[in-house]
């Protein structure tokens, strides 16, 4: 019909319509079969990659934070250890001084006690000696003069005599 | 090639060429098979077929991005992709399959070696460009563009549309048609004097076939490139 009107009757206009219909149908099929799923997949992949990059960035930051924390913890534990060692040293020093002082005091006390004891012993010995000498003198005197004297009067007499001796010695 | 007798038939008062209908159907089925078999088992990590398909999509999108701003590509991506694989397979089909009826009329050849096919696609592109221009800019601005820089320019603008339509369609037709014609001539030479001409002509035929395959790819690329250029021209307001 159309071909009678057109000069180029060699051109088949039916073909033209067929091609247009064919192409539109093909576009629809391509869209459903491949275009939509593939472009969606490509978009998904692009999103995933950018997400992965982001998460890698955040993991890196997290790791850096952890390293920072660990280093801080390490430094603090080191200083803590230092403090403990110092404390122990100070304590030891103090204890040592205390023990030494204690020992010195004890030694002093012991020495003083010993001196006191020795003094006491000496005094006692002196007193005993004095008594013995008194008794002896009384016995001797009673034998010599054969006269009973009262022990106490005799002792006073001896004491005065010995004092007289001591005075002679000092002079 | 239209040099032999041509088989035609009438349907609804329109004349159809059997060769075009059959070839187009063959290409149609090839494209469907191509996208069907390469788009099975889509995965985040692409495998063989998917890789190829994604590469093809990237390639045609790359052609479009050359002239259309990325944010306006939208549906043109699908158009460019389908157009490219359809034209590419059309260009290559006749190089490898050329069937004739017993009376000498060809029934399978490159659909693009007939001007009606290429001019149809050319017209389709320009109609799409008009449609895109109107839908983006509105009737007033779109047709106002024809009268810039001054009103008399409308004659040149309309003439330009017409030449765009012809050059876009006839360029690809010329290359593919001449390629197939030369193939036919070389083949006639090859069978003309038995073995002697066969030895000379067969390597020549193979070389020309390879070159035509290359030209077919180039022409499909050029067609899509020019389509995107014509579309992008309608998407912007002329100063």
Model pLDDT, residue A81: 94
For residue A42, give the nearest of B54, B79, B82 by CB distance: B54
- Percent with pLDDT over 70 in chain A: 88
Model pLDDT, residue A72: 94
B21 chain-A contacts, CB cut-off 8 A: 15, 18
For residue A12, give the nearest of B8, B43, B121 by CB distance: B8
CA distance B194 to chain A (A): 36
Q: Is the pLDDT confidence value at B2 over 70?
A: no
For residue B79, give the nearest of A16, A22, A27 by CB distance: A27
Model pLDDT, residue A149: 62
B15 chain-A contacts, CB cut-off 8 A: 3, 9, 12-14
Q: Is B224 on the interface with A (CB under 8 A)?
A: no
For residue B15, give the nearest of A12, A45, A48 by CB distance: A12
* Beta carbons of B183 and B207 less than 8 angstroms apart: no
State whether A12 and B117 contact (CB < 8 Å). no
Reported as a pLDDT band with limits 50, 70 and 90, residue B146 is: confident
Instruction: Give Rg (Cα) of chain A.
Output: 64
DSSP conformational letter for B68? S
A26 chain-B contacts, CB cut-off 8 A: 28, 31-32, 82, 86
Average pLDDT score over chain B: 80
User: What is the distance between the alpha carbons of residues A142 and B106, in angstroms, rounded to a whole number?
Assistant: 185
Higher pLDDT: B68 or A124? It is A124
What is the arithmetic mean of pLDDT over B157-178?
Answer: 87
Strand partners, B100: B106
Q: Is the pLDDT confidence value at B98 over 80?
A: no
A19 chain-B contacts, CB cut-off 8 A: 20, 24, 111, 116-117, 120-121
Q: Is the pLDDT confidence value at B152 over 70?
A: yes
Model pLDDT, residue A59: 94
Model pLDDT, residue A6: 45
Model pLDDT, residue B9: 67
Residue A30 CB neighbours (<10 A): 23
Q: Helix (H, G, I), strand (E, B), or coil: what is residue B45?
A: coil
Question: Taking Cα atoms as reference points, which of A35, A152, A171 lies closest to residue B53?
Answer: A35
What is the arithmetic mean of pLDDT over A34-49?
Answer: 84
Q: Is the pLDDT confidence value at B182 over 50?
A: yes
Phi-psi region of B12 (alpha: psi -120 to 50; beta: other; left: phi over 0): left
Q: Is B150 on the interface with A (CB under 8 A)?
A: no
State the total domains in chain B. 1
**Where in chain A are the domains?**
11-170
Tokens (6 digits) for A135: 């008794």
State whether B42 and A45 contact (CB < 8 Å). no
State whether B17 and A35 contact (CB < 8 Å). no
Reported as a pLDDT band with limits 50, 70 and 90, residue B68 is: confident
Q: For the range B47-50, what are the long-range contacts, defined as Cβ-Cβ under 8 Å and sequence gap of 24 or more?
A: B50/A38, B50/A41
Model pLDDT, residue B1: 40
Q: Which domain holds residue B93?
A: 8-234
With respect to residue B63, please indicate whether it lies within any of the assigned structural domains: yes
A13-32: per-residue pLDDT in tens? 777 888 888 888 888 888 88
A51-93: per-residue pLDDT in tens? 999 999 999 999 999 999 999 999 999 999 999 999 999 999 9
Model pLDDT, residue A91: 94
DSSP B98-121: -EE-TTS-EEES-GGGSHHHHHHH
A10 chain-B contacts, CB cut-off 8 A: 2
B25 chain-A contacts, CB cut-off 8 A: 22
For residue B120, give the nearest of A20, A30, A44 by CB distance: A20
Lowest mean pLDDT among A53-62, A70-79, A121-130, B52-61: B52-61
A34 chain-B contacts, CB cut-off 8 A: 35-36, 38-39, 53
CA distance A59 to chain B (A): 23
Model pLDDT, residue B61: 82
What is the arithmetic mean of pLDDT over B180-204?
Answer: 80
Residue whose token pair is 């038995």 = B194
Model pLDDT, residue B150: 77
Reported as a pLDDT band with limits 50, 70 and 90, residue B102 is: low
Model pLDDT, residue A4: 45
Residue B92 CB neighbours (<10 A): 21
With respect to residue B239, please indicate whether it lies within any of the assigned structural domains: no
With respect to residue B21, please indicate whether it lies within any of the assigned structural domains: yes
Q: How far is CA A50 from the centre of its chain?
A: 49
Lowest mean pLDDT among A62-71, A102-111, B130-139, B162-171: B130-139
Q: Which of A4, A34, A43 to mutate to test the interface with B (most CBs of B within 10 A)?
A: A34
With respect to residue B3, please indicate whether it lies within any of the assigned structural domains: no
DSSP A5-58: HSS-TTS-HHHHHHHHHHHHHHHHHHIIIIIHHHHHHHHHHHHHHHHHHHHHHH
A21 chain-B contacts, CB cut-off 8 A: none
Residue of B nearest to A20 (CA): B120
Q: Which of A12, A36, A41 to mutate to test the interface with B (most CBs of B within 10 A)?
A: A12
């Amino acid at each position: 019909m159309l071909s009678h009107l057109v000069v180029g009757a060699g051109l088949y206009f039916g073909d033209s319509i067929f091609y247009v219909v064919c192409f539109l149908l093909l576009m629809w099929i391509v869209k459903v079969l491949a275009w939509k799923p593939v472009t969606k997949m490509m978009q998904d992949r692009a999103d995933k990659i950018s997400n992965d990059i982001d998460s890698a960035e955040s993991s890196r930051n997290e790791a850096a934070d952890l390293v920072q924390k660990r280093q801080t913890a390490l430094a603090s534990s080191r200083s803590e250890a230092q403090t403990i060692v110092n404390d122990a040293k100070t304590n030891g020093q103090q204890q040592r001084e205390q023990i030494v002082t204690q020992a010195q005091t004890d030694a002093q006390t012991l020495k003083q006690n010993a001196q006191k004891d020795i003094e006491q012993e000496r005094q006692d010995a002196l007193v005993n000696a004095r008594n013995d000498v008194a008794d002896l003198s009384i016995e001797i005197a009673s034998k010599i003069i054969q006269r009973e004297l009262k022990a106490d009067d005799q002792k006073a007499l001896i004491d005065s005599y010995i004092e007289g001796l001591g005075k002679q010695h000092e002079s | 090639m239209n040099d032999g007798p041509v088989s035609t038939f009438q349907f609804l008062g329109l004349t159809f060429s059997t060769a075009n209908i059959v070839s187009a159907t063959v290409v149609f089925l090839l494209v469907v098979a191509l996208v069907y078999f390469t788009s099975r088992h889509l995965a985040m990590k692409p495998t063989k077929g998917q890789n190829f398909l994604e590469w093809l999509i990237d390639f045609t999108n790359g052609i479009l991005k050359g002239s259309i701003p990325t944010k306006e590509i939208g549906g043109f991506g699908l158009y460019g992709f389908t157009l490219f694989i359809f034209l590419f397979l059309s260009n290559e089909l006749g190089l490898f399959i050329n069937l004739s009826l017993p009376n000498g009329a060809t029934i399978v050849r490159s659909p693009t070696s007939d001007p009606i096919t290429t001019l149809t696609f050319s017209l389709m592109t320009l109609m799409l460009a008009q449609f895109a221009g109107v839908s983006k800019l509105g009737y007033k601005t779109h047709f106002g563009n024809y009268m810039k820089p001054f009103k008399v320019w409308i004659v040149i603008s309309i003439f330009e549309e017409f030449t765009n339509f012809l050059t876009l369609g006839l360029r690809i037709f010329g290359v593919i048609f001449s390629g197939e014609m030369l193939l036919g001539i070389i083949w006639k030479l090859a069978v003309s004097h038995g073995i002697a001409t066969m030895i000379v002509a067969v390597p020549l035929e193979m070389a020309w076939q390879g070159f035509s395959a290359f030209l077919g790819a180039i022409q499909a690329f050029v067609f899509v490139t020019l389509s995107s250029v014509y579309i992008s021209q309608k998407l912007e307001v002329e100063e």
